[in-house]
Amino acid sequence: MNHIVPDASLLSTYIGPPLETTFRAFFENKDQVEQAILHFRAFYKEFGIYQVSVYDDIETLLRTLVQEGFDLYVTTSKHEPMAIQMLTNLGIADYFTGVFDSTSVRYYKADVIQSCLQSMSTSAQNPIIIGDTKFDIIGGKQVNITTIGVTWDFGSQEELQLSKADYIVKQPLDIYTLLQNMSTLT
């Protein structure tokens, strides 16, 4: 699209928000934004979804949580078909009850989370969002649910603290320990 690519440090600040938000920072009009989204999704579908891996202990964590009776959902700014394909490629799709993506009518993280919450069983108690960026934490705060920030992906401890995450963990299995401790407090 004949646009200069910013350096990696600037680009990393755009991991997490909806594509519409990200590309509005780089393009002047709606048509350019829409074209950029189409290019990005085409590239991501062909290459990006295969350039990821599961962090150590994530599958153990997911399996343990499901065995303990937790219903797990994904709320993402990725396009749902790509998110599902990625989870399938990684061999972890079966751990999740549902995947909720950003759309033209729900592209803020809080909207995506709210859509997920509305679809959950009315018996769901104490929903929690676990995320690695300020967008996850802010979205969780906006819908009044507990937030757990994780430091092993794109977000930093400082960003998660500034976003006022209720809890911050450094390793995947720390999530299980935290959830066990939280259940003894309620």
Q: What integer pLDDT is reported at residue 50 of this predicted model?
A: 84
Q: Which of 68-77, 119-128, 147-156 has the lowest mean pLDDT?
A: 119-128
For the chain, give every domain's residue range: 8-50, 58-185
Q: What integer pLDDT is reported at residue 19 of this predicted model?
A: 77
Contact 128, 141 (CB under 8 A): no
Amino acid in position 77: S
Q: Which of 27-36, 63-72, 137-146 has the lowest mean pLDDT?
A: 27-36
Collapsed DSSP state (helix, strand, coil) of residue 8: helix
**Rounded CA gap, 132 and 116, in Å?**
18
- Give buried/exposed letters for 42-72 (b at 16+ CB in 10 A, else e): eebeeeebeeeeeeebbeebbeebeeeeeee
Q: 41-99 pLDDT, tens per residue? A: 888 788 888 888 999 999 999 999 999 999 999 999 888 888 999 999 999 999 999 99
Percentage, residues of the chain above pLDDT 70: 87
Q: What topology is assigned to 58-185 in CATH?
A: Rossmann fold (3.40.50)
CA distance to 65, 88, 180, per residue, from 68 (Å): 5, 22, 10
Q: 95-105 pLDDT, tens per residue? A: 999 999 988 77
> Please, is 152 exposed, middle or buried when counting C-beta atoms within 10 Å of its C-beta (0-12, 13-18, 19+)?
middle
The structure's pTM equals: 0.83
Q: What integer pLDDT is reported at residue 61 of this predicted model?
A: 98
Amino acid in position 48: G
Q: What is the DSSP string of 68-82?
A: TT---EEEESS-HHH
Q: What integer pLDDT is reported at residue 124 of this predicted model?
A: 67
> Which pLDDT band holds residue 149 (cuts at 50, 70, 90)?
very high
Q: What integer pLDDT is reported at residue 186 of this predicted model?
A: 52
Q: Which of 18-22, 73-77, 153-157, 165-169 has the lowest mean pLDDT?
A: 18-22
Instruction: Identify the residue with better confidence: 70 or 2.
Output: 70
Instruction: Identify the residue with better confidence: 43 or 175.
Output: 175
